[in-house]
Amino acid sequence: MYLFVTEEPQNLCGQCFERSCPPVSLSGPIRIVKVGPIDEKTDWQEALQGIDIVIHLAARAHIINETIPNPEAEFIKVNTQGTANLVEQSIQAGVKHFIFVSSIHAMAAESDNILNENSPCHPDSPYGRSKLQAEQALINLAKDSNMTWTILRPTLVYGLGNRANMERLMKLIKRGLPLPFGALKNRRSFVFVGNLVAAIITCLDHPNAANQIFLISDNQAVSTPQLIRLIAQQIQQPCQLLPVPTTLLRFLGYLGDTIESITGKNLPFNTYSIDRLLGSLTVNSSHIQKTLDWQPTFTLEQGLAQTIQPEN
């Protein structure tokens, strides 16, 4: 089995494949390609020769405080058109199976409902829309070919080397000041990179993975206060949470936006960061568990331990 994995330099999953990190166990050769700019003109033909399965990880991720004039067009160019181009060339090269690591943002960034594969898709960001359009391009292009596909929609991915969201909370906890998140009742699903890689590996040769969409998570949903307490335990720091009303927190976000627009400086609090702390986004990943007999290897607590402790 010859694998072709696209990744960007800081791509967590690609690093796991490259280092054969647990729970990765593969007997066949892997060709990992760290890519630069991707668009509809990227030439993949030489790299795809003799490849059985493509695992497409590379993408333009969401960027906080975007500065380019038309970010939506850039997301479409890289994530949608770039993926469609890779799919077309994969079909031409005789690739048998195409695994596309999409995102839960193809469905929504926030939702009060528990999402599953049958939930309607209402992406509310340029990133999410570009991912959904890439999924649709893959399905449409592959339907008249011999190439099967699998689409994975992971929730927020975390792990060593990608702990930006955890890092912000860690810094707040380490200051030793009371945090105003005690009243939050939201729920969010996460996925440790080790669990995501294990899901990808399962999809490589499982016959029931063909032409399926799967939501991937750690199978645990936690509130922001619960997540803060778990992180505090890992870094062995006391943590005090105050029950501040959410309306006041949202006002703080608007205030941060105003200060950023005046000063041009990025603040740790703005509407984007506050919304992520207040909002809910949970998924039901039972479809992949039942269809492929897959279970997450790591619990949220175990994933956090591997994410946080090595750098403390």
Consecutive H or E run containing 282: strand 282-283
Residues contacting 123, CB < 8 A, separation 6+: 105, 106, 107, 108, 109, 129, 131, 132
In single-letter form, the type of residue at position 98 comes to F
Q: Are the beta carbons of 158 and 193 closer than 8 angstroms?
A: yes
Predicted local confidence at residue 28, as pLDDT: 61
**Dihedral-angle region of residue 204 (phi above 0 means left; psi in -120 to 50 means alpha; beta otherwise):** alpha
Return the residue matching tokens 């703080």: 252
Instruction: Round to whole Å and give the CA distance between 135 and 106.
Output: 9
Predicted local confidence at residue 260, as pLDDT: 87
Predicted local confidence at residue 308, as pLDDT: 84
Catalytic residues, by residue number, are: 127
The series of mean pLDDT values per 10 residues for the chain, 312 residues long, is 76 55 56 72 91 92 70 93 97 98 96 97 95 98 97 92 74 90 95 93 95 96 95 92 94 92 82 89 98 96 84 52
Q: Are the beta carbons of 232 and 178 closer than 8 angstroms?
A: no
Query: Quick one: three-class SS letters along 92-154?
Result: HCCCCEEEEECCHHHCCCCCCCEECCCCCCCCCCHHHHHHHHHHHHHHHHHCCCCCEEEEEEE
